[in-house]
Amino acid sequence: MLDVARCKILHSKHDDKIDSYVLSESSLFISDNRLIIKTCGSTRLLATLPVIIRLASDYANLDQVQSVYYSRKNFLRPDLQHPLYKSFDAEVAYLDQFFEDGHAYCLGSLKQDRWYLYTMHRQPKKTKMASRNPDHTLEILMNDLDSDILPVFTKDVCEDGRECFEKSGITHLIPNSAIVHDEMFDPCGYSMNAFMPDTDQYATIHVTPESQFSFASFETNIDANCLYKQTKKVVNCFRPGKLLMTVFANENSVKGKDAQQQLWECELPGYKRTNVQFVRLEVKIRLRQFFRVSIEIFRRKPWSMLISSEETQLILTKTTAKEANRKES
């Protein structure tokens, strides 16, 4: 599967609930009911789709995909992408070959940063319809990171991932009980996966520290913390010039809905909101009982991503108050 995507496994951690892989081009998580793959660079993520479906059938006797989420931010240079990724319309046409009942969305102004999302939900053939567990996912894309933190993500300052994890302050973003494995790239760059023992709750961080296009991403479905407070901690760690945030939550996720409400009503300290959208996706399946494939795509400048949850989505794009004041003056 990863050969098709043109990336490889660097190292992994496992327990009975989840398998976590740090890749040469981002991350892969596999649990009983979910597969999340994030790729970047010159990888070919969508090419993995037929392979994933075949492997699920051959090795797990799972013959029907119940839910798919594929999403990404708009590319700065779509002309440099593989033909399939030059336009979201082309990606939708490809996905529709596998999922005839999929739906496509564009969130955000066409004149600014925007978010493309493709979803598919299919009623299972046979199942005991139990109540869905709470499920939410927080994702934050950050650009123009504070120049003081950029050197920490280079080999000049940190010898390995563990040293970078401590010196950067990322250690304060992850629960102490989480199992962590990370990678420090040469000469620069950092990737981290973490998961909570005996759950399918995870977190992942990826950092590109080059000053011309510095970028960091944070994603988690861990429910130990208030998501609004978690967002402030992440932003305080990386201090980006601008950020785009999404929160997905199903109807049973109290924390997810609380975070959406807080982010809808409140500003992040030191930042000015430039865009906010709220979308409700009507879903009638029980995600926690069935096999599903969640696909994420990252590509450098900018990275792109998918969130694996459902029913409500909130996107915030913010710029620093300092930057806003400069424009006004």
Structure tokens at 246: 């999404």
The alpha carbon of residue 72 and the mean position of all alpha carbons in its chain are separated, in whole angstroms, by 9
- The Cα 249–Cα 308 span in angstroms is 9
Could you give the residue numbers annotated as active site?
Answer: 26, 40, 191, 206
- Which residue type occupies 32? D
Distance between CA atoms of 211 and 149, rounded to whole angstroms? Answer: 11
CB 69 within 8 A of CB 91: no
Check if the beta carbon of residue 223 is closer than 8 Å to that of residue 255: yes
**Which residues are within 8 A (CB) of 176 and not within 5 positions of it... i.e. 6 or more apart?**
none
Which distant-in-sequence residues (6+ apart) come within 8 Å of 274 by Cβ? 112, 317, 318, 319
Both tokens of residue 325? Answer: 């004041």
Q: Is residue 9 within 8 Å of 21, Cβ to Cβ?
A: yes
Q: Which two structure tokens, joined as six digits, stand for 207?
A: 């950092």
Q: Residue 296: which of 198, 238, 221 has the closest Cα? A: 221
Q: Phi and psi of 111, rounded to 5°?
A: -95, -5
- Residue 288, phi then psi, degrees to nearest 5: -75, -5
Strand partners, 107: 115
